[in-house]
Amino acid sequence: MRAYYCLRKRGNNMDFHLNRTVALSQESKYQSLYKWSLQEFDETGKQLGQDQVPWLWSVVFTGTEMTLNQELKLEAKTPLLAQLKLEDHKDEEAPLTTEEREYIRVQLRPGYFADPDSGPLYSMFGTDRTIRSFQLWIYKIEDKAKPERSYAWGSPSYSTEIDFQNETTDDVMLFYLHVSAERFDQYVDMTRKYPPNVVTLRLGMVDGLYSEWSPSISTHKIKVLTNPKDHQLTLPQGSAITPPTLGRIGEFSITFTTRRDLDKPAQQTE
- The pLDDT-based confidence of 89 (bands split at 50, 70, 90) is low
Taken in order 225, 230, 232, 235, is the CA torsion positive or negative?
positive
For residue 18, pLDDT beyond 80: yes
* Greater model confidence, 165 or 81: 165
How confident is the model at residue 94, as a pLDDT? 65
| pLDDT per position as a tens digit, 19-74 | 999 999 998 888 888 999 999 999 999 999 999 999 999 999 999 999 999 999 88
For residue 4, pLDDT beyond 60: no
pTM of the model: 0.85
Separation of alpha carbons 41 and 26, rounded Å: 16
For 240, how many CA atoms within 13 A lie in the half-sphere containing its CB?
1
| pLDDT per position as a tens digit, 216-227 | 888 999 999 999
How confident is the model at residue 92, as a pLDDT? 58
Separation of alpha carbons 224 and 220, rounded Å: 14
Nearest 5°: phi and psi at 212? Answer: -70, 150
| pLDDT per position as a tens digit, 91-150 | 556 677 888 889 999 999 999 999 888 889 999 999 999 999 999 999 999 998 999 999
Separation of alpha carbons 39 and 51, rounded Å: 5
Q: Which of 10-24, 191-205, 247-261 has the lowest mean pLDDT?
A: 10-24
Q: Where do the domains of the chain lie?
A: 6-74+96-257
| pLDDT per position as a tens digit, 156-182 | 999 887 666 778 889 999 999 999 999
- The pLDDT-based confidence of 6 (bands split at 50, 70, 90) is very low
How confident is the model at residue 28, as a pLDDT? 83
Separation of alpha carbons 186 and 247, rounded Å: 26
User: Is 163 within 8 Å of 13 (Cβ atoms)?
Assistant: no
How confident is the model at residue 190, as a pLDDT? 95
Helix spans in 124-241 (H): 181-193, 228-231
How confident is the model at residue 183, as a pLDDT? 97
